[in-house]
Structure 1
């Protein structure tokens, strides 16, 4: 859910403007179609709420001090996810967990505002990788939020990369959540030593979950009050993660339900 401090900033916005939240430069949008907040550290969507709906994302009210990453919203994991940097033979291979993008400062290159929604373009202020470039395009309207990472290899040799949109979805009650669209998919269960299994039917959240599903299909998330469709392109895996009561230290105690 949205922190009160960020909600208060948005309440004073009519249209879109820049502001500072928890020491970070943010772009705020309060439009006819809804609200959105983007941190320019990490080009990270922190909040999205269509008009006549509740927020789709949750974010910690107490993020780590800069240059620490923000837990919540949609962190960009690029050009590697988790520890996959070890497959990268570039000079940047010893960088931080989940990649370089979420710690970097990004510039707001363009905002295309129209009656139906908005399109925001961002790029890093400094080169993040010797062989790769990245830019981000965010599209939002009253029915849809789309985040795209566009990566280009400008070097002479092939390079292995990975990435993720590490989305923290806000739900009414985690233990009421059901995910459809995973049936028949093979997955690795990180809580069982990466044991491989096949999903049987609908996935119901009843406790901690940390799985990597090998699928490119869209998923429907129903929390008992609404259903969100989570689609993707150019991705062959879906991570389902819910820590339950084993929460990270920078997460509020009541987040286990959300």
Structure 2
């Protein structure tokens, strides 16, 4: 692994800004520090693990009990769910790319001092065994006073392909019971806690129990109001027609080996998605980009 780290740091490292390190055997992370923000991104799953604007508290949440092991998903951060979101009979939950090792394609500082890291995957025998399509997938992570994520799918095959997908973002909050999500008022949603009952949001989203909702036909920004933390987090999105809001609450948390007791109070997920009926069909040689921009406001 030392030779791999040396190769990565020689090819893509930027002094005092970007350094690749191994946090556990086989688990390589890009550590990013700029005057604007700090962040960390694992090559395992192209998984953003942290983002903290300069002078601010961390925005992205990761469980203290999370697994950092090859082949296992990480609880928290921003998992990439692709080419399907949720459960598909006989297949891995949330697709297969969140546990694959992505390749570094580029790293540079832009004109505004943001660090842009590009990671990618292409189909091979392993992916075609579970999903028989030709593709190129790239995640561009732009770290600055905002965090911008752009997931681009290119259909490199000769037939249309259909995907569902998500940037499954976990956000820090000081107290979930004093947290709301704005921007979804009047939006229909599927309530997974009520066996996918069709409902409609009235007012802000609040939290007093397990919450697992797919808001459909929405392109709106979401605004997390962290009352106890006295801050607001905006999630703007493009190429997304659905938003998922999730918190496991007490009982479901107990079933999760990679979540510590009581941690449900410290986070919520507001996910930039194309989920359920909002699947995306991509013609041969065409692309689709799912993008989220996260900011403190």
TM above 0.5, yes or no, is: yes
- CA offsets, 1:129-169, max 9 Å, x none? 53222011111212x11111100111111121110011111
- CA distance, structure 2, for counterparts of residue 133 and residue 156 of structure 1: 13
Which residue in the other structure is 2:92 paired with? 96
- CA distance, structure 2, for counterparts of residue 165 and residue 150 of structure 1: 12
Which residue in the other structure is 1:257 paired with? 265
Which residue in the other structure is 1:185 paired with? 187
Structure 1 or 2: larger strand share? Answer: 2
Residues 219-238 of structure 1 mapped to structure 2, 5 A cutoff: 219-224=222-227, 225-238=230-243
- CA distance, structure 2, for counterparts of residue 124 and residue 71 of structure 1: 22
Return the TM-score normalized by structure 2. 0.76
- CA distance, structure 2, for counterparts of residue 19 and residue 116 of structure 1: 22
Contact 1:29 1:36 in 2 (8 A): yes
Which residue in the other structure is 1:5 paired with? none
**Pairwise CA distance, 1:170:** 0.8
Alignment of 1:80 with 2:114, yes or no, is: no
Alignment of 1:68 with 2:72, yes or no, is: yes
Structure of greater relative contact order (alpha carbons < 8 Å, 6+ residues apart): 2
Partner of residue 39 from structure 1, selected from 37, 42, 47: 42
**Pairwise CA distance, 1:100:** 1.5
Contact 2:109 2:116 in 1 (8 A): yes
**Pairwise CA distance, 1:66:** 2.2
Contact 1:79 1:99 in 2 (8 A): yes
- CA distance, structure 1, for counterparts of residue 264 and residue 91 of structure 2: 30
- CA distance, structure 2, for counterparts of residue 158 and residue 126 of structure 1: 15
Residues 1-258 of structure 1 mapped to structure 2, 5 A cutoff: 14-23=16-25, 24-64=27-67, 65-84=69-88, 95-114=91-110, 115-124=112-121, 127=124, 128-129=127-128, 130-142=133-145, 144-214=146-216, 215-224=218-227, 225-245=230-250, 246-247=252-253, 248-258=256-266
- CA offsets, 1:64-121, max 9 Å, x none? 332111111000001111125x6xxxxxxx5421111101101211111145311111
Question: Is the alpha carbon distance of 1:95 and 1:190 closer, same or farther for their aligned partners in structure 2, counting shifts above 3 Å?
Answer: closer
- CA offsets, 1:26-68, max 9 Å, x none? 0001221111000000001000000011111111234333211
- CA distance, structure 2, for counterparts of residue 205 and residue 256 of structure 1: 11
Contact 1:105 1:125 in 2 (8 A): no
Contact 1:67 1:103 in 2 (8 A): yes
| RMSD of aligned alpha carbons | 1.7
Return the TM-score normalized by structure 1. 0.87
Contact 1:183 1:201 in 2 (8 A): yes
**Pairwise CA distance, 1:125:** 7.2
